[in-house]
């Protein structure tokens, strides 16, 4: 054996070896996967789950459970092995035997929603760590509102070298250090190995100093020494800062010939090495056969947590805050919400103010934040531009978590993941702002919001060349197409205040992420009808019905609706009847039935106008349709000059309409 394990309790060693063998045998059976990390971190995981983590597998959704995030998601077998050993009902040995097989909940990387107890999807390195920050933040926010007898738990993370090398870790550790998220504990699998070999190939940073500089409590331990692990966790829990425990480990621990090498990182060990490992660790059991005494030791760990759960249940039942607590956890919209939202929309239809949709969003948020007590706003240092803060919102700080607004700093990537963590934790509906162009910086987090179907609302303003003088670095071109191509994500680009309010309404009621693409520049209002139907909820609709036969359809979104409407009325003067279709959300429109879509798009030539790239528009305008938009980066200048310069004009629409009609 490569290093001497020591423990007060010899059973711990057997419990850890159970994880090791489940992991190496499952990877071998699947003929793919990552045995090294679970084998290296089995000791840490054993002490953590045996003596520290309060989860009760029979109540996996217990709101006050400790959260465990396997940020090094490639080591998924560590998590699945733990779930099997702890007795999660949905993790029978059958599922371990079918690791990485289709239709089993033991996917290559942990997928949220597949098995109970998987707190978040991990795999993209660094994401889990930043998501955990959102969970630890939620704990503080909830605890400050509901007290420690209802909310008092830790968030534990196992992160690898890869997680710490990823840039997102920098944003996440700075943010959590600043807010002193003391119940966040990272166990770093410091094995100095990644895929290419030694981490020294590419890294010489002093992680301890880095974390210290960000305000963290730090410790260094032997990750195979159970006593040291135990003491370090006790110390970390006492700290008033977030805590990093550097666990010096050997990847593939136990494998006589391969441990400590990158060969164990992401490939089966092979029959011979597994045999040798069995011999080295004194494990004579067949693959997937865990002796009953070891299973019993694992199950015992849940006896204590069962009691804790029952105590908490009693606390909740007796708490005067019970109802409000459950409203937060379930994120139910209060009864008064719809009434208030409808009357706001009605008023806006009467007033028809000309506003930038970012302003319309703020106006809508004023209504939302008055009635919904658990929205959690924020911005990546663009509060005054994104207009995400409303009158009564209070900023949170390390000494005050009773607020509901977060200054994320210039950390878009972490902001996205932190919001994911907040949504996963339950309690708050997070929304956060930045410029649409910087969705690139948090793309990986947005993708995970979508993959996990989380109610996270991205308020992305300055949505086109219409932002003007800041120029091409700040003007999104391809972003709408990229975001629209992401499955399970609603991108809404509203045209006026009514559409903006409707977009928020949809976002609050949808169990998936929403991106609100909002303008910097003022936009005319168009909606004034009496009906209370939320038209954005259908994704697209006819904004101005022509009274006679429709000659042409002009489809637009957001700020270009104004051009489309103007072109339509000028075309009418020339005897051409053009309907304008507002299509703020492709995803929702695509879900409508065929006849509705046909009726909206019309059986006639079509033009699409959008100050963005063309990609994707052909499905609405057909091969012969004309797209008016951007086919290059933008430029710096006043918005009106830019629209002229790039040919996104009423005149261009009219010319296109006339030329199309000649062809048909």
Ligand X SMILES: Cc1ncc(C[n+]2csc(CCOP(=O)(O)OP(=O)(O)O)c2C)c(N)n1
Residue 161 in the binding site for ligand X (CB under 6 A): yes
Nearest 5°: phi and psi at 192? 60, 25
The stretch near ligand X (CB under 6 A) out of 157-165, 353-361, 387-395, 608-616 is 157-165
Site mask for ligand X (CB under 6 A), range 107-126, x = bound: ----------------xxx-
Long-range Cβ contact pairs of 619-628 (< 8 A, separation 24 or more): 620/555, 620/583, 621/555, 624/660, 624/663, 624/664, 625/660, 626/656, 626/659, 626/660, 628/652, 628/653, 628/656
Number of alpha carbons in the 13 Å side-chain half-sphere of residue 226: 22
Helical ranges in 185-270 per DSSP H: 207-213, 226-238
Q: Among this protein's residues, is 412 annotated catalytic?
A: yes
Coil/strand/helix, residue 297: helix
Coil/strand/helix, residue 435: strand
Residue 194 in the binding site for ligand X (CB under 6 A): yes
Nearer to ligand X, 160 or 427 (CB): 160
Choose, by CB under 6 A, the member of 33, 110, 160, 540 that binds ligand X. 160
What's the closest the beta carbon of residue 582 comes to ligand X, in angstroms?
38
Coil/strand/helix, residue 458: strand
Q: Which residue is nearest to ligand X (CB)?
A: 160
Choose, by CB under 6 A, the member of 65, 74, 100, 224 that binds ligand X. 74
Contacts of 5 (CB under 8 A, 6+ apart): 13, 16, 43, 224, 225, 226
What's the closest the beta carbon of residue 529 comes to ligand X, in angstroms?
48
Q: How many CB atoms lie within 10 A of CB 335?
A: 8
CB 540 within 8 A of CB 630: no
Residue 583 in the binding site for ligand X (CB under 6 A): no
Nearer to ligand X, 124 or 558 (CB): 124
What's the closest the beta carbon of residue 82 comes to ligand X, in angstroms?
17
Residue 193 in the binding site for ligand X (CB under 6 A): yes
Q: For residue 38, give both structure tokens.
A: 């679970």
Residue 265 in the binding site for ligand X (CB under 6 A): yes
- What is the size of the binding site for ligand X (CB under 6 A)? 21
Read off the DSSP letter of residue 307: H
Contacts of 307 (CB under 8 A, 6+ apart): none
Nearer to ligand X, 117 or 123 (CB): 123
What's the closest the beta carbon of residue 110 comes to ligand X, in angstroms?
12
Choose, by CB under 6 A, the member of 5, 37, 133, 653 that binds ligand X. 37
Q: For residue 71, give both structure tokens.
A: 């940020």
What's the closest the beta carbon of residue 210 comes to ligand X, in angstroms?
16
Residue 72 in the binding site for ligand X (CB under 6 A): yes
What's the closest the beta carbon of residue 429 comes to ligand X, in angstroms?
27
Read off the DSSP letter of residue 264: G
Nearer to ligand X, 108 or 147 (CB): 108
The Cα 523–Cα 51 span in angstroms is 59
The Cα 271–Cα 504 span in angstroms is 56
Q: Which one is catalytic: 171, 273, 412, 562?
A: 412
What's the closest the beta carbon of residue 626 comes to ligand X, in angstroms?
40
Choose, by CB under 6 A, the member of 189, 222, 273, 505 that binds ligand X. 189
Nearer to ligand X, 148 or 195 (CB): 195
Window 4-33: residues binding ligand X (CB under 6 A): none
Site mask for ligand X (CB under 6 A), range 355-374, x = bound: --------------------
Residue 223 in the binding site for ligand X (CB under 6 A): no
Residue 171 in the binding site for ligand X (CB under 6 A): no
The Cα 162–Cα 154 span in angstroms is 23
Q: Dihedral sign for Cα 88, 92, 95, 99, please.
A: positive
Coil/strand/helix, residue 366: helix
What's the closest the beta carbon of residue 405 comes to ligand X, in angstroms?
30
The stretch near ligand X (CB under 6 A) out of 193-201, 338-346, 445-453, 632-640 is 193-201
Instruction: Look at phi and psi of residue 453 and say left if phi exceeds 0, alpha if psi is from -120 to 50, else beta.
Output: left
Residue 268 in the binding site for ligand X (CB under 6 A): no
Coil/strand/helix, residue 91: coil
Choose, by CB under 6 A, the member of 162, 427, 430, 494 that binds ligand X. 162
Q: Which residue has the tokens 């009693």?
A: 314
Residue 242 in the binding site for ligand X (CB under 6 A): no
What's the closest the beta carbon of residue 81 comes to ligand X, in angstroms?
15
Residue 195 in the binding site for ligand X (CB under 6 A): yes
Measure Cα distances from 327 to 367, 453, 601 in Å: 19, 20, 41
The stretch near ligand X (CB under 6 A) out of 100-108, 189-197, 339-347, 621-629 is 189-197
Strands 429-435, 626-628: pairing kind? unpaired
Q: How many CB atoms lie within 10 A of CB 151?
A: 21
Nearer to ligand X, 264 or 305 (CB): 264
What's the closest the beta carbon of residue 265 comes to ligand X, in angstroms?
4
Residue 551 in the binding site for ligand X (CB under 6 A): no
Residue 141 in the binding site for ligand X (CB under 6 A): no
Active site residues: 412
Task: Tell me which residues touch ligand X (CB under 6 A).
Answer: 34, 36-37, 72, 74-75, 123-125, 160-163, 166, 189, 191, 193-195, 251, 265
């Amino acid at each position: 054996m490569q290093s001497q394990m020591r423990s007060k309790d010899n059973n711990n060693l057997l419990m850890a070896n159970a994880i090791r063998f489940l992991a190496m045998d499952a990877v071998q059976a699947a003929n793919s996967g990552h045995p090294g990390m679970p084998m290296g971190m089995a000791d840490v995981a054993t002490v953590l789950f045996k003596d520290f983590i309060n989860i009760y597998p029979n109540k996996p959704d217990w709101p006050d459970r400790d959260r465990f995030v396997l940020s090094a998601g490639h080591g998924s077998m560590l998590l699945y092995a733990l779930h099997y050993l702890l007795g999660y009902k949905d993790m029978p040995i059958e599922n371990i035997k079918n690791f990485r097989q289709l239709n089993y909940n033991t996917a290559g990387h942990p997928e949220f929603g597949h098995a109970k107890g998987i707190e978040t999807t991990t795999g993209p390195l660094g994401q889990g760590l930043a998501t955990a920050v959102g969970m630890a933040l939620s704990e503080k926010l909830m605890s400050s509102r509901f007290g420690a007898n209802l909310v008092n738990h830790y968030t534990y993370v196992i992160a690898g070298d890869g997680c710490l090398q990823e840039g997102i870790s920098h944003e996440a550790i700075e943010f959590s250090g600043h807010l002193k998220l003391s119940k966040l504990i990272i166990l770093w699998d410091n094995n100095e190995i990644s895929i290419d070999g030694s981490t020294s190939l590419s890294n010489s940073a002093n992680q301890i100093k880095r974390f210290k500089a960000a305000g963290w409590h730090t410790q260094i331990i032997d990750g195979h020494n159970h006593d040291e692990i135990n003491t370090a966790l006790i110390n970390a829990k006492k700290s008033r800062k977030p805590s990093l425990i550097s666990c010096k480990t050997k990847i593939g621990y136990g494998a006589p010939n391969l441990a400590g090498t990158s060969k164990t990182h992401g490939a089966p060990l092979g029959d011979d090495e597994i045999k040798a490992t069995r011999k080295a660790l004194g494990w004579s059991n067949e693959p997937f056969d865990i002796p009953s005494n070891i299973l019993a030791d694992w199950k015992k760990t849940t006896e204590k947590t069962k009691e804790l759960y029952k105590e908490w249940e009693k606390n909740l039942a007796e708490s005067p805050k019970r109802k409000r607590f459950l409203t937060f956890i379930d994120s139910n919209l209060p009864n008064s919400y719809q009434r208030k939202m409808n009357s706001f929309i009605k008023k806006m239809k009467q007033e028809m103010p000309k506003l930038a949709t970012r302003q319309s969003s703020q106006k809508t948020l004023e209504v939302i934040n008055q009635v919904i007590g658990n929205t959690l706003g924020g911005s990546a240092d663009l509060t005054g531009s994104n207009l995400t803060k409303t009158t009564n919102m209070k900023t949170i700080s390390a000494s005050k978590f009773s607020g509901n607004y977060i200054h994320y700093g210039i950390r878009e990537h972490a902001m996205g993941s932190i919001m994911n963590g907040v949504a996963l934790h339950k309690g708050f509906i997070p929304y956060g702002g930045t410029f649409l162009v910087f969705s690139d910086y948090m793309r990986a987090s947005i993708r995970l919001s979508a993959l996990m179907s989380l109610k996270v609302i991205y308020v992305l303003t300055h949505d086109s060349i219409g932002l003007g003088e800041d120029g091409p670095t700040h003007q999104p071109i391809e972003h709408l197409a990229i975001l629209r191509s992401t499955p399970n994500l609603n991108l809404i680009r509203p045209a006026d205040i009514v559409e903006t309010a409707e977009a928020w309404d949809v976002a609050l009621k949808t169990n998936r992420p929403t991106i609100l693409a909002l303008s910097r520049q003022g936009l005319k209002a168009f909606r004034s009808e009496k009906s209370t139907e939320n038209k954005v909820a259908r994704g697209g609709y006819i904004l101005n019905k022509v009274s006679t036969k429709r000659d042409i359809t002009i489809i637009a979104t957001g700020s270009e609706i104004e051009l489309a409407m103007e072109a339509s009325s000028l075309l009418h003067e020339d005897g051409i009847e053009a309907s304008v279709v507002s299509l703020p959300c492709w995803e929702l429109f695509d879900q409508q039935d065929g006849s509705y879509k046909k009726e909206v798009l019309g059986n006639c030539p079509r033009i699409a106008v959008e100050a963005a790239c063309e990609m994707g528009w052909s499905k609405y305008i057909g091969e012969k349709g004309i797209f008016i938009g951007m086919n290059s980066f933008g430029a710096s200048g006043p918005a009106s000059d830019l629209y002229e310069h790039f040919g996104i004009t009423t005149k261009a629409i009219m010319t296109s309409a006339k030329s199309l009609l000649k062809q048909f």
